[in-house]
Amino acid sequence: MPVERYSTPAIWLHWMIALLIVCAFLLGLTVDAFPKSWDGAIVNLHVLLGLGVLVLSGARVWWRLTHRPPALPSGTSALTNRLSLVGHILLYVMMFVVPLIGIPTLLYRGRGINFGLFQISSPFARDPQIFRPLTDNHELAAYALVLLAAGHAMAAIYHHVILKDRLLLRMTRSRSP
């Protein structure tokens, strides 16, 4: 049975965003495990990964709005369709919310962003009264995003393994010539 797949750009954006989210999240969790002298570089890498998520998510939303995704398998219930829609909307929202909270968090810590060829300095003085609650919200949002992504992955695996409706194959490249 042939599977209608997402377009190559949609697949590429999906997996790149997923990879960046996992890397940024793991780096955020382990930043204190690195030598103190690495702190600036590790935080900057975390920020660059987050900015990558933000930019690629913008591209993904644009692509999604301008290209119709493949239909869900026939026989998919209305409840499943609704849950899928809500889950995807929440994922998209959180892919923007997490980095958009992270940017002011960074800047109110008095840190800038080093892009290698150029740097952007923070326009703000270090202000713990602002960055501490922002940090807490950034962390909570990051956990929410990762939990949503895990639920998304588990749903795809459930469809593939239990329902055997080949839904998971829609987000993979075709192996056929």
Residue 32 falls inside a structural domain = yes
Q: Is residue 22 part of a domain?
A: yes
Q: Which residues pair with 113 in a beta bridge?
A: 120
Whole-number Å distance between alpha carbons of 38 and 32: 10
Phi, psi of 123 (to 5 degrees): -85, 0
Residue 58 exposure: Cα atoms within 13 Å on the Cβ side: 7
Task: Residue 20: give the domain boundaries.
Answer: 8-171
In tens, the pLDDT along 155-176 reads 999 999 999 888 888 998 766 5
Grouping H, G, I as helix, E, B as strand and the rest as coil, residue 113 is strand
- Cα–Cα dist 3/156, whole Å: 14
Q: How far is CA 105 from CA 34, 65, 151, in A?
A: 21, 30, 27
Is 50 among the domain residues? yes
3-state secondary structure of 148: helix
Q: Is residue 177 part of a domain?
A: no
176, part of any domain: no
Buried b or exposed e, range 157-166, using 16+ CB within 10 angstroms: eebeeeeebe
Q: How far apart are alpha carbons 39 and 32 in whole angstroms? A: 8
- % the chain with pLDDT above 70: 96
Predicted model pTM: 0.91
The domain that holds 16 is classified in CATH as: 1.20.950
pLDDT digits (tens, 9 = 90+) for 80-137: 899 999 999 999 999 999 999 999 999 999 999 999 999 999 999 999 999 999 999 9
Asked if the model's pLDDT at residue 12 lies above 70, the reply is yes
Report if residue 34 sits inside a domain: yes
In a domain, 3, yes or no: no
Q: Is 2 a domain residue?
A: no
- What's the structural domain count of the chain? 1
